[in-house]
Chains A and B, each alone.
Chain A
Amino acid sequence: MQHADPWTTLGPTLAPLAQMAGAGDGTGLGVLAAVVFWVAAVVSVLAGAAVFHVDSMARATYALALSFVAVGLAVLTLQQGYVGVVIVLMMVMEMAVMAVYMVMFMGMNPALMPMSMVHGKWAALGAAGATFVLLAAGALLVPWPERRSGPPPDLTRALGEALMGSHMLVMVAVSPVMVATIVGGVLLSSHRTRYDRLGDDLDRRPADDPQPGGVGR
């Protein structure tokens, strides 16, 4: 049974508003999805800009988390339930870890200390502006092809079957990269490893010489 497109059921008063929001564009997204998408899009860009404008790293972290949640919501409105939920859950956890790093490394209460640590601000602004103009021009001027086909009935199931079937190579490639990341992360962040041992005894501490020498360690 076909479901009625909400756009077509709107009265003549609301139709222009719905059209402005982009509903009824032939891809099956309703008015509500279009409105939610645009709210999420505006929030994501504003929160992203706030990351580099607010006075403290803690607030910057919250702003980035908000931007990611908004993008996750926007992806959800594009009918990608699994990926949207993964983005939201992963980014909220990642920002929680990031907040811990702020407290560890900044050596102060990051919510109370105003900070602005930038270099080459105007050059960076120019590069970012030029990139935006270039990308936006490409997005608006390229003759995008017509939609090739409709989505499968159960997207999450189709994604799972693709990952475990025709696109297994992606999982095979991503898995060792993840393992390498874990090993690299542990090696980089370890205080002392087998390469920093001071003699044969792993528990030996560095010599407390009044005059440091050697290779500078």
Chain B
Amino acid sequence: MSLELVLVVAAALFSVGLYGALSQQVVVMVMMGLELMLNGVILAVAAMWWYLAPDPSGQVLLLVVIAAMTVEMAMGFAVATVLHRRSGSDMTDMATELDR
């Protein structure tokens, strides 16, 4: 178990999440992709903290990432609710108001 291998696992998680965020049509599934990307970031930060400099600063950074994840989920659910109310759908392809 070394830093390099843990970072490769984190990169795999990030890439799987990126695929989901780019390819999914349903807003909630896009959010799942973003969550997986942040999942990879959490693992990478945790590993770098342990293998490079295990002082409390790294854990504080981890808490910030977790807070960002919470904000993303809360706002994502709110936007999904608005979309569903306005257009009766929760598909990203229907959310084209900003195109005009």
Contacts and interface: CB of A to CB of B under 8 A. Distances in A.
Contacts of B43: 41, 44, 71, 74-75
A191 interface: yes
B52 A144 contact: yes
Contact of A105 (B2, B51, B67, B90): B90
Contacts of B33: 51-52
B78 A67 contact: no
Nearest to B48: A144
Given A125-B19, A127-B18, A151-B54, A83 B46 contact: yes
Interface string B61-95: 01110110011011101111110110000110100
Q: Would you call the interface of chain A mostly helix, strand, loop, or mixed?
A: helix
A27 B24 CA distance: 40
Interface string A155-173: 1001101110001001000
Contacts of B67: 174, 177-178
B14 to A, nearest CB: 6
Contact of B24 (A52, A125, A139): A52
A117 B20 CA distance: 11
Interface stretch (A8-16, A180-188, A198-206, A207-215): A180-188
Contacts of A139: 3-4, 7-8, 10-11
Nearest to B21: A124
B15 to A, nearest CB: 4
Interface in B1-50: 1-20, 22-26, 28-29, 31-33, 35-36, 39, 42-43, 46-47, 49-50
Contacts of A34: 1
A92 interface: no
Contacts of A104: 84
Q: A interface, how many residues as a size bin?
A: 35 or more
Given A27-B50, A125-B19, A189-B82, A105 B75 contact: no
B23 A67 contact: no
Given A48-B39, A71-B13, A189-B81, A90 B59 contact: no
Contact of B22 (A123, A136, A148, A159): A123
Interface of A: 21-23, 25, 27, 29, 33-34, 37-38, 41, 44-45, 48-49, 51-52, 57, 60-61, 64, 67-68, 71, 74-75, 78-80, 82-83, 86-87, 90, 94, 97-98, 101-102, 104-105, 117-121, 123-125, 127-129, 131-132, 135-136, 139-140, 144-145, 147-152, 155, 158-159, 161-163, 167, 170, 174, 177-178, 181-182, 184-185, 188-189, 191
Interface of B: 1-20, 22-26, 28-29, 31-33, 35-36, 39, 42-43, 46-47, 49-57, 59-60, 62-64, 66-67, 70-71, 73-75, 77-82, 84-85, 90-91, 93
Please name the 3 residue pairs, one residue from A and one from B, whose CB atoms are nearest each other, closest first. A22-B1, A139-B7, A135-B11
